[in-house]
Amino acid sequence: MNKKIILVFISLTFTFLITSMTVGGFLLIRSAIRHQEINLKDSLIRKTELFRYLVQDNLLIGNISEVQRQLEKYKAGEHFFSYGIIQESNIIAELSCPQEDFFKTQSKIYFSENDKDHSWGYLEICYSLKEIKYSKLKLTNNLIASLTFVSFLILLIFIILIRMLFKVVKDLEKDISVFMLEKISTFDFKKNRWDVLGPLRLAFTKSLTEKLELKDKIKENEKSVAIATIAAQVSHDIRSPLSALDMAVKDIGELPEDTRLIIRHSMTRIRDIANNLLAKNRNQNAEVFESSAEEKIETILLSSLIDGLVSEKRMQFRSKLGLQIHFDLNQESYGLFSKIESRELKRVLSNLINNSVEAFDGDGIIKVTLKSSDDRVEIKIIDNGKGIPPEVLLKLGGKGESFGKNEGNGLGLFHARTTLESWGGSLKLESTLGAGTTVTVALSKASAPSWFIRGLKLNELSRVVVIDDDSSIHQIWNGRFESAQFNKHQIEVVHLSNPALAKEWFYEHKEKRTTLYLVDYEFIGSDSNGLKLIFDLGIEKEAILVTSRYEEEHILKKCLENSICLIPKNLSAFVPIEVTNNLVTTHAKSPNCSIPKSEQYQYVYIEDDQYIRRGWERASKRKSIRLLTLESTKEFKSHIEKMDKETTLIYIDSNLGPDDMAGEDFAKILHDDGFKNLFIATGYEKERFAHLPWLKHAGKDCPFDE
């Protein structure tokens, strides 16, 4: 090692230290003197105020000679250099104050301390600042003496350190030479001077460790930036062919419904991925898979989302002939909603299914299930692959942890876990080597939106009209109707394939019969659609829109505005169907899908005596109560849409005449249909209806009339 370089380095260091100390000392003295000068001047100003206070009374009474005598006395005592007294423009005593090394003060003299607006004049006093000048000189001399002593001390220390350093460097050169010539495994540190240089070795090791950690962080950041750059390029490159594909698909009218559905779902997801990649690239400093603040949390029907994704995955991996991907969709999984961001959940589930696919070397089965568990919804992805070792399973889900992937970066499961937790959900992995892995995605359960149909409830002798251009959908409905024993209940089923046939049939069958219309939205080769057909026929209250495009905003908006509910077409095979002996066909809607509360009847009164009915009607007008009065039970079905089974109070006379059924018999029909508040309004005794504990007894008097 070159000793001259070391000497030059030490000399420069020594020079730097001395210079720094000198400059620092100068600045310190300057600051101290400045501070001392400020304090002294403040003190002199206060002293002038004191002198003014002492002579003020004599000045105000005109005893100038006494004032001058007092001030001369203070001046002789070297309290100040000179003084001046000024009364307005009259100079009684003129101040003499040189500019250099002197400080002039002035204090105003008032006639009264309480009246600051009128003054008598001024008292001026000049003070000498020689004390500060002396302090500057004294501090400078002390600084020079201190710097001389410290410089000598530093020089002495440097001489000692140089001698020690040369010895250490010489010993270190020898040890490094030995270390470079010998193998690491055979080099004995304890027999060499490394043992003497323990602190140096510790510092070197710490520095090397920090450098390696910094290197890893830089590498990780570079990787993140590279991923973001690639993402932006991919997003840009996808858009052009996607637009062309979108235009081409609109011109394809011969494809069956299920094929169109898969294409539409796949294109929507590609577009979502491209948009999301572009949004995430706007901030390269963010985590690569951090959730975007711009993403919208919505109430999503999970069964439909998963069904579309699984169909897409089957298409993606169709080349793997031995691989089976199933979604166990059933009535238990029908109608489960959660508040999530659909694009992110699709990405999470897609990555988890991809992980399961990669667990197979050959044939395999992946099953996706959806079920409700208290206030949670559980999505499980189950495979019979090779499984994950327990020691690896514990680490998975952490950032950077991966298994079974040569180029895996460990961000997939980490992103899944953090995304689910941001929605109040969780991710759980269970695995057995040689048996397979189960991934459980738990989400918070949300209430169904207002457009959703919980189930179909049809009356015997009613009619169902299916209007759809896809024959497979007609087959699905036929299978459902056979399972519900429509033939046994004498429910007529009509199948129509386009709006023109539907209109022709509708105008030919205007006879009074309760009818439920299940209408598709999209008809290939037709200018009309399902919503337009419903509006043209005026069947908004009797129709349900059955479409795979139920999530499109303009369709949802039209349905909500007109209280038309929807069934996702891929869930047609699972919507619950019930046949009752009720008077009218209904469908179990979600809250707010039917008539608004403000338009629903509060009371219903069925009575064949018109005079009693008029008395109830007059009372309802006085009390501003929404009341419906009916002469017979036969009129009830035409008004049922404006009744709430939970809140509407229904009063029924027992004897409704020879052409109608008994009131208690009709009440039993309503009770079986789910109506909760039923009253028998009759003069008969209460015991006559004891066998009907749910039927409340009431007299003929109006309950809300005083």
Largest CA distance in the chain: 135
First to last CA, the chain: 114
612 CB-contact burial (10 Å; exposed 0-12 / middle 13-18 / buried 19+): middle
Instruction: Give the 3-state secondary structure of 276-296.
Output: HHHHHCCCCCCCCCCCCCCCC
Residues of the chain with CATH 3.40.50.2300: 453-570, 597-698
How far, in Å, are 48, 82, 405, 568 from residue 79 at the CA level?
Answer: 10, 9, 91, 101
Q: How far apart are CA 328 and CA 332, in angstroms?
A: 10
Q: How far apart are CA 657 and CA 698, in angstroms?
A: 19
Q: Tell me, what's the pLDDT at 668?
A: 93
Q: Tell me, what's the pLDDT at 408?
A: 45
CATH of domain 453-570: 3.40.50.2300
Q: How far apart are CA 609 and CA 539, in angstroms?
A: 33
For residue 136, the 8-state DSSP code is: H
* C-alpha neighbours within 13 Å on the C-beta side of residue 60: 15
Q: How far apart are CA 425 and CA 409, in angstroms?
A: 23
Please list the rounded mean pLDDT of every run of 10 residues in the chain (706 residues).
62 74 74 78 83 81 82 74 78 77 82 76 81 69 74 76 69 54 44 49 60 78 71 56 55 60 66 57 45 64 87 84 87 86 91 88 90 90 88 68 48 81 91 90 88 85 91 90 90 93 88 84 87 92 89 86 86 86 53 59 92 89 92 87 87 91 93 90 88 91 82
Residues 564, 534 contacting (CB under 8 angstroms): yes
- Look at residues 96, 107, 101, 94 and name the one whose alpha carbon lies nearest to residue 128: 101
Please provide residue 649's backbone torsions phi and psi, each rounded to the nearest 5 degrees: -95, 120
Please provide residue 534's backbone torsions phi and psi, each rounded to the nearest 5 degrees: -60, -45
Q: How far apart are CA 55 and CA 74, in angstroms?
A: 12
Give the chain's radius of gyration (CA, Å): 48
CATH of domain 597-698: 3.40.50.2300
- Look at residues 599, 550, 582, 308 and name the one whose alpha carbon lies nearest to residue 448: 550
CATH of domain 289-444: 3.30.565.10
Please provide residue 54's backbone torsions phi and psi, each rounded to the nearest 5 degrees: -70, -35
Name the amino acid, one letter, at 591. P
298 CB-contact burial (10 Å; exposed 0-12 / middle 13-18 / buried 19+): middle
Please provide residue 156's backbone torsions phi and psi, each rounded to the nearest 5 degrees: -60, -45
Q: Encoding tokens for residue 542? A: 């009797």
- Look at residues 324, 343, 508 and name the one whose alpha carbon lies nearest to residue 415: 343
- Look at residues 530, 536, 633 and name the one whose alpha carbon lies nearest to residue 584: 633
Residues of the chain with CATH 3.30.565.10: 289-444
How far, in Å, are 26, 59, 138, 168, 409 from residue 146 at the CA level?
Answer: 12, 53, 12, 32, 62
- Look at residues 531, 546, 542 and name the one whose alpha carbon lies nearest to residue 473: 546
How many C-beta atoms surround the C-beta of residue 311 within 10 A? 18
Q: Which DSSP helix (H) or strand (E) runs through 465?
A: strand 463-467
Q: Tell me, what's the pLDDT at 587?
A: 54
Q: Tell me, what's the pLDDT at 350?
A: 92
